[in-house]
Chain A
Amino acid sequence: MTEAHPRGLPRAERTVVVREALSVGIATGAYGISFGALAVAAGLDVWQAMALSLLMFTGGSQFAFIGIVAGGVQAAPAAIGASSLLGVRNGLYALELTQLLGVTGLRRLGAAHLTIDESTAVAVSQDDVRASRLGFWLTGGAVFTLWNLATLGGALLGTQVGDPRTYGLDAAACAAFTALLWPRLRSRDAVAVAAVAAVVSIALSPSLPLGVPVLVAAFAALIVWRAPRGRDA
């Protein structure tokens, strides 16, 4: 992991990473409009919606939080529980990212705040550690900026804004994550881990709280895989 500065990256590779980061930022950021509108509909004011996007900054948790708080402020403990469960996976991403990014001191706080599905996916999708680092910071920065601007817009405009599903933005996110995972699926071990995780999460989804199936499925996949000799996964 020497010579980790992104400037050492060949121009063509750099362009690929920048395009990935920006497209993920735009597709995810646009969803913030929907978050802002739903937050206000759930009874939050504009400042409270913005506080969630600026400070919590992890989409799944934010949607879960406002979905529960919409039922009344007495549901706040349940809302905190749900958003925290969904936030656990960011901590697990961080275990890999802390090695990949090589951050120390105060930069760790910045890296931690930007640790979400999107920035992790772009980082682990790269073959070169310099590309991973560039991808992480650019994606995290792009999503943070656009997600917050969009939250503000959605909170101010309210329900006049359309459903992002009309434009296929939810499907765009599924397609983007698939494309980012794709280069990692070269080894049979990685394919096995991904397949077991996918099947188990689907099987558990109807019966467990939001966020839990993904965690249990990931651990199940790692146990089945049992860390054999394969290096590449």
Chain B
Amino acid sequence: MMLWVAILLAAAIAFGLKLAGYLVPASVLDDPRVRRVTAALPIALLAALIATQTLTQRDGSLTLDARVAAVGVAVVALLLRAPFIVVVVLGAGTAALLRHLGWG
């Protein structure tokens, strides 16, 4: 029962956080300076997310493993203008292969 309460409360907070951004009045977001910041925010957040997902373990400690190699291969594919699906499959394949070979 306790666990159900915790689940529903955590889910309600998660939804509330998502919704909060949609409830900010358009008049506030229309300011050109605010617009520039809100447009840059996802870029900053996603860049930070990629970095932490690629280079850290669940406890936050840094590590170099198959994920780094996968993102490296993905970047090369992007420089060669490979389509999205090819980039993703190459990333997954690189990590799977390296792990199969016993690294990372």
Interfacial residues, chain A to chain B (CB-CB below 8 A): 16, 19-20, 23, 27, 43-44, 48, 51-52, 55-58, 61, 65, 67, 69, 73, 76-77, 79-80, 83-84, 87-99, 103, 108-109, 111-113, 115, 117, 120-121, 124, 165-182, 184, 189-190, 193-202, 205-208, 210, 213-215, 217-219, 221-222, 225, 227, 231, 233
CB <8 Å contact, B60 and A208: yes
Determine which of B19, B20, B29 lies in contact with A109 in the assembled complex, contact meaning CB atoms within 8 Å.
Answer: B19
CB <8 Å contact, A179 and B88: yes
- A-chain residues with CB within 8 Å of residue B61 when the two chains form the complex: 205-206
A-B contact pairs, 9 of them (CB 8 A): A55-B11, A67-B58, A94-B22, A96-B41, A96-B42, A166-B96, A174-B91, A181-B50, A205-B56
- B3: CB under 8 A from chain A? yes
- B46: CB under 8 A from chain A? yes
- Besides A111-B22, A198-B48, 19 more A-B contacts (Cβ < 8 Å) are A58-B18, A61-B14, A73-B3, A79-B10, A94-B18, A97-B22, A98-B24, A99-B35, A120-B46, A171-B92, A178-B75, A181-B47, A182-B78, A195-B47, A201-B51, A221-B44, A221-B48, A227-B37, A233-B40
- B-chain residues with CB within 8 Å of residue A181 when the two chains form the complex: 43, 46-47, 50
**Interface size grouping (class) on chain B:** 35 or more
Q: How far is the CA of A196 from the CA of B84 in the complex (A)?
A: 25
CB <8 Å contact, B48 and A201: yes
CB <8 Å contact, B84 and A179: yes
In whole Å, how far is B95's beta carbon from the nearest beta carbon of chain A? 3
Determine which of B18, B33, B45, B92 lies in contact with A112 in the assembled complex, contact meaning CB atoms within 8 Å.
Answer: B18
CB <8 Å contact, B42 and A124: yes
- B-chain residues with CB within 8 Å of residue A180 when the two chains form the complex: 46, 84
In whole Å, how far is A113's beta carbon from the nearest beta carbon of chain B? 6
Determine which of A44, A173, A227 lies in contact with B33 in the assembled complex, contact meaning CB atoms within 8 Å.
Answer: A227
Interfacial residues, chain B to chain A (CB-CB below 8 A): 2-11, 13-15, 17-24, 26, 29, 33, 35-56, 58, 60-62, 66-67, 70-71, 73-75, 78, 83-85, 87-97, 99
CB <8 Å contact, A198 and B50: yes
Which residue of chain A has the shortest Cβ distance to B20 in the bound complex? Answer: A91
Which residue of chain B has the shortest Cβ distance to A88 in the bound complex? Answer: B17
In whole Å, how far is A72's beta carbon from the nearest beta carbon of chain B? 10
> Beyond A51-B11, A170-B53, A213-B52, is A218–B41 a contact (Cβ under 8 Å)?
yes
In whole Å, how far is A133's beta carbon from the nearest beta carbon of chain B? 14
Determine which of B8, B13, B49, B89 lies in contact with A214 in the assembled complex, contact meaning CB atoms within 8 Å.
Answer: B49
CB <8 Å contact, B14 and A56: yes
Determine which of A16, A99, A175, A210 lies in contact with B70 in the assembled complex, contact meaning CB atoms within 8 Å.
Answer: A175
